[in-house]
Amino acid sequence: MCWSATADLAAGTVIVAIGVAAVARTRRARDLPLAALPLLLGAHQIIESVVWRSDGGTGPATVAWAVIALPLLALWVPLGVFCAAPARARARLLVPLAAGAVTAAFLGYALFARPVTAEVRGHTLGYVLNLPHPLLLVAGYLLATVGSLLLSGDRRLVFLGVLVAVGAAVCAALWRLEFISTWCAFAAVCSVVLLGWAGRRPPVAVAAP
């Protein structure tokens, strides 16, 4: 989320460009889902610019925003980390992957069964969805997203996980104050980290003599 339609559109365009570069720099096919994450984050910001221009409400842009933010990211992130992680880390990554699948299923059903509404609140947008067991869903979401990064076995992805955890807390605090939304800047920083990760040189396996 950004503080205006113009800021969301500008940030989304930049983040999509970073995503294109990340995908182009990717050296392994199994890294593509995670390298493409900035494309999804950028599209998310661009969709929100439409929500701003509609003054919130319950239209298709609001629903699309919620689908990306809730069930899609809850599954995309742990699946992308699982694909990209070294073999030694995959067993433990089954836990956040399973948490993401279950959380995404519940969130997807909630979006299907209940309306989601966007409200302009000062310099932020608030999204209202009456979720069952919200604390459990938040815990599952964080385990799937932040947890998968922290358990990835890749130091750059672990750093990204720490960055996501700290940045999300700061963004949430500012959003609750209805002062300004900083998620777009935070998404751009995370996308730059993923760009560097995508362009790294993967370790080369050496055959035993």
Residue 46 binned pLDDT confidence (cut-offs 50, 70, 90): very high
Q: For 39-43, 48-52, 120-124, which range has the lowest pLDDT when averaged over its residues? A: 120-124
What pLDDT is stored for residue 123 in this prediction? Answer: 76
Q: How far apart are CA 12 and CA 41, in angstroms?
A: 7
Is 184 in a helix, a strand, or coil? helix
The model's pTM is 0.89
Q: Is the model's pLDDT at 132 over the cut of 50?
A: yes
State the average pLDDT over residues 2-6.
Answer: 82
Q: How far apart are CA 65 and CA 47, in angstroms?
A: 6
**Cα separation values, 49 from 65, 125, 151, 190, Å:** 10, 10, 34, 20
User: What's the alpha-carbon Rg for the chain, to the nearest Å?
Assistant: 17
Query: Would you state the structure tokens that stand for residue 86, as one six-digit string?
Result: 């070294």
Q: How far apart are CA 167 and CA 185, in angstroms?
A: 10
Residue located via tokens 């992957």: 97
What pLDDT is stored for residue 205 in this prediction? Answer: 42
- Classify each residue of 183-207 as buried b or exposed e, where b means 16 or more C-beta atoms within 10 Å of its C-beta: bbbbbbebbbbbbebbeeeeeeeee
**Cα separation values, 4 from 46, 47, 54, 82, Å:** 11, 12, 12, 35
Residue located via tokens 């751009």: 188
